[in-house]
Copies of this chain bind each other. A is one copy, B any other.
């Protein structure tokens, strides 16, 4: 249901849905993920909280919908990590690159990334993306200190996005994705499992 709703294909009340989403996006950006509530979004949108749940699911789901990504990142990260820690980084990076190397996906994702790099978008990324999307998706790995490990993973993955896709720095921009995976997966795997300082 959530996926259908997010893509806006659900019949009926498109204006109400869009209004709820606009309020949610503004509140997540202004207040951060932690202080935004389904009830608060519903209140400002002038609807019943049950309708927000009905359209969008949980607060995490509402947050992902507000990001307006072309794909639910949890649907990419979750399956990649489901096979366990062994080889997790390689599977994660392969799945990640298969999304980013798709030209249509990339165009949509770049719009989102540019928005998150604007000052108004920082809070969405800082307070929402990691705690609401990345860390829960990584829970299947049972890492110790998952916040710190996933912040390190995020630093390498965000740098890769920036260098390869946004700035198109060569030779990284033109490297075959298998070579990118071979070069960078050991970094991610080390952040998953090496002893931390």
| Residues of A in contact, count (CB < 8 Å) | 39
Task: State the main secondary structure of chain A at its contact with B.
Answer: helix
Closest CB in chain B relative to A128 CB, distance in Å: 11
Establish whether residues A167 and B126, one from each chain, have CB atoms under 8 Å apart when the complex forms: yes
Q: Is A163 in the interface zone, CB < 8 Å from B?
A: yes
A152 contacts across to B, CB distance below 8 A: 172, 183-184
Partner of A171, one of B147, B157, B186: B147
Q: Is A16 in the interface zone, CB < 8 Å from B?
A: no
A162 contacts across to B, CB distance below 8 A: 155, 158-159, 162
In angstroms, Cα B197 to Cα A178, docked, is 9
**Top 3 A-B pairs, shortest CB-CB distance:** A159-B159, A182-B197, A155-B159
